[in-house]
Structure 1
């Protein structure tokens, strides 16, 4: 990795030359020594008092495979953790897939509440802003894009909102709320990195991704800004085609997901879901919209006949190559809140369509765990 060390600071300094912080940005690049590569775990400071620990009521549904971590935590009205359920290593880092998207939408809604944006503000899908898969053509309102980002999990809709909110700003706010959660990239940027289309950031994507992940947060933030800008010089179809070649080719490694995708641990993300998904930081009108999108009946992630019946229950899922993620938060009638995260990577099925078949049985399983945890 020694030959890479002078390259990235130079590229970063050039890319940020128009910024007042350009000179300090290059100086801030400190590549870790080879032994200090990708961090595999992360533990956030514990709240006062230890929650009561409960074991899951049953094993995972038949056929679910891979590296699995599930965390569900019940918080009292004062925010203190009361009960916790864990399966697997809940402090191990995992890729989040699309479960980070509510964090983006919530940031945009806070800007609307602050008068910086409006629900009917139009955002345009340009070739540079279009991500992979289906996309909303032309101009669409923030309200339309927010629903698309959360309900059908549209990547372009999420990226348009992410760019509008400010990618670095979202990253900092998420890091402040949850130091173990990293939301540095738009969907297009992380897939462009993973497929090797951004050599200005990662000259050798497979070899450099572990070092990229091990850099200090402030340094990764600067490099992520380069990645987001670089991704906008590519088209969505270009990224999708290159990604398909990478996933099905000999260079594929699941370690890349920890290097370049947005990541967290099951425990940290469960805590973050309890903070964000109920919409406590939003004005009543924005909160109602946010909750409505997260609890939409078209969602994939609840049992068809749930036994867990809280006052509000918002959910989000994500999928990818050998991965599946499911997260959510609920508020109970007695004032308690529960947040949870199920993170799976390294699954035996490779394509997303196969792991997505687990959604329904896993939704039933999660329903039973939340009912037990909140009794």
Structure 2
């Protein structure tokens, strides 16, 4: 069985995600996406179909014909559900080996994270609910369906709601190293020797550092999104953009906004557009700012290219840890908190917090009053709590006199 999740691009720019078997679209999974998930983005459709594909692999391995079973009004039994929940925990390579019939040693099995396994099972659970109602021609209150969904929920791995406490922003040493090695003329710069590539990557790094925008938003920037006079960059939502030649179109997940850029960065962007991008033939065919310099192709870069640029830095300088674009987004939030704390140190704490949340929500493209600021501001809050506790603890002094020591 050859299953493939792919994206088709219509003439109007609309992206359509499909799950196909041996080149033919599968009816029920694609009907499910069209009917039940039409308001979601194509990226969400891709994720769901990848999860459903894993369920189809499980059916292949176990020999269970789910559609035939549902047509008879029979549901998955508890043992079946436990088996497919376990199957959802394996990574892609392990699933590939299981499907091939190779017997694996216990140590050869590799699992995905609990959150990924839980996400897979959640997507499959919703699909099975749709499929059973469609094939058994019943309502969601049908006791057979309720029982099956209840069993899936019971076996689904629990994911703790709290986030692990780990450093997500850059340290001062890491920031110092990065600002040095991304310079095009630095002897240890790990990027291509092509001056245009080095300048492009330098700009991508600094745009992310100065604004905290997402990598998809970075890859989707157009030349005319840069206001060279007012020194700003604007982030727009252009879903299903027919002018974007990329099948996997980078999309803004957050709200539209306009953000300031430093004069030095604006100067480098102008330099890149006028003297590097303009010399790549294919770049004239589209409006996107960052282009591929490989053999003069000139197409807009992919999100994968952005990831690769950061991965090269991480590989060349292990002291940077696992560096990725989203880490700079966290770093922006941490640094923003420090700046607000410094600039508004004499303001009431309530006013400071209100300004922080409102300004941060706009800069990050979040809805005002949401909870995302709490997630990204957690490290700063931890540090402030630690500082206050240290000050408080200074009043407790343990002084043991000689005559107080135990005999």
Task: Work out which structure has the larger RCO, using CA pairs closer than 8 Å and 6 or more positions apart in sequence.
Answer: 1
Is the shorter-chain TM-score for this pair beyond 0.5, marking a shared fold? no
TM-score interval for Structure 1 and Structure 2 normalised by the shorter chain:
under 0.3
Structure showing the higher strand proportion among its residues: 1
Structure showing the higher helix proportion among its residues: 2
**TM-score normalised by L of structure 2:** 0.24
**TM-score normalised by L of structure 1:** 0.25
